[in-house]
Structure 1
């Protein structure tokens, strides 16, 4: 576009300035301005807005610490008063010139010649050029002559390709205001607490005044704003400069938006962290959360913690998952203002889960046919010898119930029967099972030993809730956010455990018949409390949802007298009622092959009932005789003067899974034999076969084995070669002397 000059003789100073600029235009002919649409598309706010599944805003989270930018604001959404104020303040002939205001250039050149102060000759378009081009940015010492010429060149090209409204829109979105504030959206929301379209003429005058002197004292900003306001209102209007001064003092005292605002800060950070490295954060990010449910979960958790405040409780977390899709519907990481550690994501922080691991242990024992739901377990004092000494588990109430069924032991959350069950399964095997369910423990099963049955390891609420989702999906596990995929647990065992955890009668011995855990629709739930009451949990599922709740203190401090039903359970129950206020939750259908049969218990240990069994494990009578009562760690099988049911597998009782042996080179190899022991179960003892690797090394309920260095799998098989049980061991040290055969 040709430059139009005023049709009159130019003064010498003006002629010189024009010649310089024309020369620059010719020399800078290759320069090109960025397209307006590209600029708007590439604009990135300093904050990200996370939306829920329905498009409702959930959270605003800052992602760029270098500056504070809001969303790109179209010119139509900017207050007309601000547009007027900006043009009057910065570029009165904005709509007449073609990028360079030659009249202003002439005046500035003449003033410079006579050392007279006057307003600059920089137009809005030239200022925009300085914002778009790094080489033309204003430095601490002002712009050089080369930069000013470059501004004029680029402004001319902008005017040739952009419309005036586009130039003004881009300027308003890119111009730095006060401090770290960049663009009109950040300025309006920070200083005036409103969107740009709502600015009054007084606020618009203040905003325009900040362009010229962004970090000036409020009094100076107000003085300039008063002049802008007077120009806006015209000769017949009147500007109240005192009121403007007070407005400036109040507005400029405000700093910036908080770093985060909303009801889902922790989930927003999770979503942001999950994005590929190096990929710029988008302005808007959609989540699977439901804003209504998220809000209710937060409010319910806060209300419960307020009620528990006298018991030294200030933190909590909630996770709600969709069983089928794995989508996160609610993720509350803290109690917000009630917490002294609100930034800590309690749903992702490792904590001791207490009894909430027991369902997976019983499911594993049932799947391995070591137990049925009706098998009897001895809830009496127990002393287990471990490498570090005796382990003596206790029940929560410090009382023992005697012989109870596995159904009662799990539903009533009895500790000693759970430990006896872990003895059957082994800590190492249980550790592997938890890993299959997505609970990756930092330490090995051997490290935790038998205390693993009572939740001595550390897990996160997110991991725990997702593992319970696998129970809801028939043992099929999928990562959070993914539908169930691989089989992590026997479907029949998962169903039986769910049936136990939904049985209000079975849990009555600990929780009573009128427990808050009982719902009017089908649900399965388990509570847990960690050592010294540091953590309290309630995790369970319905036909469609899995809900997990944790209550405690982020600091790890102990709570005071908070039980499973008084801590996390009320929150769990309230959310389940909300989720199924209009949605039914029918009981799950049993998997194919599962058997329901009538059972009764000798000695009136428990009332007769219908019980679920895996194929081949059903029996009608479960009783205890004197021999069974004297055996501390046998599979608690039903006995009635005859052998137990037809399919109780044999099991290895020694060595323990994960045993490490060290051979001594000074002891003859024949004296270093390892004794292998087993319980036959329903198999004939003489039919048992001991195998190590591809070699049979003995028969019967016991065998002697001469170890050799390496890692070995000890298997117990029946007469048909079917594996009944196995243990993994490691042998270290000296090699057996030549000529000594291993048997």
Structure 2
């Protein structure tokens, strides 16, 4: 094995100096082919692996992603990490006097010229330094024979390299840049792809095989085997080829890549986020992800999906956020090989939200002082006339609970009370509130979604939903997320936007912080979502939602059980889970409490119990203090539909006695709905075409209808109005002449029909 040591300047022999005048003219012609070459430090600095790497916040490798499809290169391998057997085999094969010459092996060059003159084949005279110079030139990727002037230019470049680089740097750079076979470039890619090991572990036989590839990287295995055997013989290792047939079979096996299975697989823990963050080959990006949490969340999801495999469930996603910083701690986009669509990112895919939007709806009602947590809403069959027909929402469970408080309605996820609340507030104000909470995918107006928006008919992403809940955890303030740690985001500490341009990412990483809810409304919603007693009638006292620490959580199930959600937060963390099928096929009897909630609970428990062995302390989560403007009051109900209790109110809305209001509190225009178009038939007598103006609940004394600014009739009994062609505005007005609700509609007259 050649020894690498320092070399002083060496004076060329007299016979070589005599040749210099003769070569000067030719070298001058070749000068354009020998442009200034980079130094060793520049080559190292500009070297790029074909893969980019996503790192966890502590530097652990999470994901490698190949971005350069033209070549396969691993990270630069220092000479100290390359097997001495490979270095020896390459020198013996390509440049025996590498340690002696100054870039050009004049003896080999003369021998090659003489052989070429007589037409005999020769090994060639290109030294490793000359080959490296060719690799470093702009046309270094060009393969095949070079012209005489090319060779002269390469010789000049080799001389320059020898004057500025040392031998260790030359052989190291050569082994990292030289193509070995197919797309494999450099010793790192060759060693791992062909032999399934790191370069320092190559033995003599593997090294000879690798060196044999340098002359003709894509030669047939039998040709490579013969060359490798000749090289082993030259190195005194003939016994490695004692059985030529067996050795040929080994070469064929290695070149087929069959040995790759011996290589320890690289971590593949965050493919979906890596595809969004990694942009350049060779990039190594520090992310905000926690490697241990990422792995645990992925395993928890897969483990639970295994238990649901007979219920047509194969996909899921998990997202974990740090409430204070907005850093993403875990991003699990799919269930991996359990899914038939593992490439689909469940974190950013748009799916129907189900009941997960209800906390935002009631927060809006609290802000407008339209409801309090103690307000009573009737949970009973409901049918609403809309511009598109009759809408009759139903609860998840096929029964109704009668008059219930808002606390029980939200905690128990009752559907009819939510729809009644939206009737009171209006779909468009609710949509605007959802936009404030970061659900930017709601790009239609409120009337387009209609009253079903209360039950989550809109498409949202897990990413948007989780950050909306994080806003509730942060006292109602929305702020963008970050996928890299705050210390790595730049000196200004701002969140770094990531290239996530699809609808499911819209605004999540780039919008400016803003108030999404008042602190008081966010507190009331969080207190309700943390109340296990309030949700007991639906979920029982003990369920996956009942944590031993303070947490506020909500489940959701979309139409036909196509999507399962569970999203909630503690004082420090927000965890969001989606379970379903990427293709949209419905699950079989899987609800939010049985589908997504178990994964949510496992991840949330992991976050709070800590791990002393890994220096991860346990996290406490105590109920948040009430903000200014919130008061607590003892209340009782009349009749006693719910037990007396302590309840929170916005200051000025508190009550001690909660009486059933007979439905007047939610009385709204039920028909005609806003946007309705009515058509008059000239062949039907007018008296048969009158429409009934209906309310969604009983009217209070003094309530009346007002049409186009003029009083029409008392609200009850329901009047029957004869439609007049044109556009109209109908208003419901109370005894103090205040407009309670209004709807715009149109009446059209059809042309007469022909009679037979």
TM-score, length-scaled by structure 1: 0.83
Give the counterpart of 1:223 among 203, 220, 226: 226
How far is 1:184 from its partner? Answer: 0.8
Where do 1:15-34 residues align within 5 Å? Answer: 19-20=22-23, 23-25=26-28, 28=31, 31-34=35-38
Residue 200 (structure 1) aligns with: 203
Q: Which deviates more, 286-295 or 222-231?
A: 222-231
Q: Which deviates more, 174-183 or 479-488?
A: 479-488
Residue 120 (structure 2) aligns with: 116
* 1:130 partner SS: helix
Change (3 A) 1:677 1:324: farther
* 1:441 partner SS: coil
Change (3 A) 1:137 1:509: closer
**Aligned: 1:313 with 2:316:** no
CA distance in 2 between partners of 1:724 and 1:145 (Å): 95
Residue 571 (structure 1) aligns with: 599
CA distance in 2 between partners of 1:354 and 1:463 (Å): 14
CA distance in 2 between partners of 1:155 and 1:87 (Å): 16
Contact 1:380-1:416 at 8 Å conserved across structures: yes
* 1:110 partner SS: helix
Change (3 A) 1:39 1:402: same
CA distance in 2 between partners of 1:321 and 1:151 (Å): 56
CA distance in 2 between partners of 1:716 and 1:44 (Å): 72
Residue 171 (structure 2) aligns with: 168
How far is 1:239 from its partner? Answer: 4.9
Deviation string 1:126-173 (CA, Å, 9 cap, x unpaired) is 111111112454345x22223222211211111121111111111111
How far is 1:93 from its partner? Answer: 0.8
Contact 2:130-2:158 at 8 Å conserved across structures: yes
How far is 1:716 from its partner? Answer: 10
Residue 647 (structure 2) aligns with: 611
Contact 1:426-1:657 at 8 Å conserved across structures: no
Q: How many residues align?
A: 685
**Aligned: 1:622 with 2:629:** no
Deviation string 1:503-559 (CA, Å, 9 cap, x unpaired) is 111111111122121010001111111111111111000010000001111111111
Residue 643 (structure 1) aligns with: none
CA distance in 2 between partners of 1:253 and 1:289 (Å): 37
Residue 598 (structure 1) aligns with: 634
Change (3 A) 1:337 1:9: closer
Give the counterpart of 2:106 among 102, 105, 110: 102
CA distance in 2 between partners of 1:359 and 1:533 (Å): 20
Structure 1 unpaired stretches of 5+: 637-650, 665-675, 703-708, 734-743
Give the counterpart of 1:544 among 553, 566, 572: 572
Give the counterpart of 2:622 among 561, 578, 586: 586
Contact 1:62-1:260 at 8 Å conserved across structures: no
CA distance in 2 between partners of 1:125 and 1:728 (Å): 84
Residue 635 (structure 1) aligns with: 665
Where do 1:488-567 residues align within 5 Å? Answer: 488-567=516-595
Residue 689 (structure 2) aligns with: none
Contact 1:21-1:149 at 8 Å conserved across structures: no
Change (3 A) 1:548 1:79: same
Contact 1:226-1:239 at 8 Å conserved across structures: yes
How far is 1:485 from its partner? Answer: 2.9
Residue 158 (structure 1) aligns with: 161
* 1:540 partner SS: strand
**Aligned: 1:72 with 2:68:** no
Change (3 A) 1:9 1:599: closer
CA distance in 2 between partners of 1:44 and 1:732 (Å): 69
How far is 1:26 from its partner? Answer: 6.9
* 2:460 partner SS: coil
Residue 52 (structure 1) aligns with: 56
Residue 41 (structure 1) aligns with: 45
How far is 1:724 from its partner? Answer: 9.4
Residue 211 (structure 1) aligns with: 214
Deviation string 1:380-416 (CA, Å, 9 cap, x unpaired) is 0001010011000011112111111111011111110
* 1:479 partner SS: coil
How far is 1:21 from its partner? Answer: 7.0
Change (3 A) 1:218 1:238: closer
CA distance in 2 between partners of 1:597 and 1:5 (Å): 100
* 2:179 partner SS: coil
Q: Which deviates more, 542-551 or 508-517?
A: 508-517
Residue 686 (structure 2) aligns with: none
Contact 1:656-1:727 at 8 Å conserved across structures: no
* 2:517 partner SS: coil
Where do 1:382-397 residues align within 5 Å? Answer: 382-397=382-397
Change (3 A) 1:460 1:576: same
Q: Which deviates more, 254-263 or 325-334?
A: 254-263
How far is 1:105 from its partner? Answer: 1.0
Residue 647 (structure 1) aligns with: none
